Amino acid sequence: MHTTDAVHQTQFVLLNESTTPVLSRLSFHVSEPYAVTVAFRTERGRWIEWTFARDLLVTGLDEPTGIGDVRIRPDLSEDEALLTLEIESPDGYASFELERADLEAFLESSYELVPLGAESEHFDIDGLIEEISNV
């Protein structure tokens, strides 16, 4: 599931209550300790990626969170094994059902690389400034 500096997890998720699962991939990299990326494979074989705060996933395990383009919440149904990830953009809206156990396993693996609260120790601010300056 993870290498020395990254965690990747692939699973099938359900899109907007569809019966056809969508292949998804969660990624966490030590070089971006505050962020996670979720990617969804399209019918044409391309990946659509969204990057957002790891804390959003952590909080979303227990309560609705997110006020922007990405929101996560425990599912509104009685099934405690599911979480709902909502993504919105000018191009549209999508809602995905995620398995709680899979997300918890992914987060635990990310904590082994960068514990919660220790992100600043792994964040390369000079590298970010250089990257932004070269635009």
Whether the Cβ atoms of residue 12 and residue 21 lie closer than 8 Å to each other: yes
Distance between CA atoms of residues 13 and 93, nearest Å: 16
pLDDT for 38-48, tens place per residue?
Answer: 998 887 888 88
Rounded to the nearest 5 degrees, what angle is found at the Cα of 47, between the Cα atoms of 20 and 18? 15
Distance between CA atoms of residues 29 and 38, nearest Å: 12
Domain residue limits, the chain: 6-117
Query: Among 115, 121, 94, 116, which Cα is nearest to 38's?
Result: 94
6-117 CATH pick, 2.60.40.10, 1.10.760.10, 2.30.31.20, 3.40.1190.10: 2.30.31.20
Position 107 confidence tier, pLDDT thresholds 50, 70, 90:
very high
pLDDT at 60 over 90: yes
Report the pLDDT value the prediction gives residue 41, as an integer from 0 to 100.
86
pTM of the model: 0.79
Distance between CA atoms of residues 32 and 93, nearest Å: 26
pLDDT at 59 over 80: yes
Report the pLDDT value the prediction gives residue 122, as an integer from 0 to 100.
65
Report the pLDDT value the prediction gives residue 42, as an integer from 0 to 100.
80
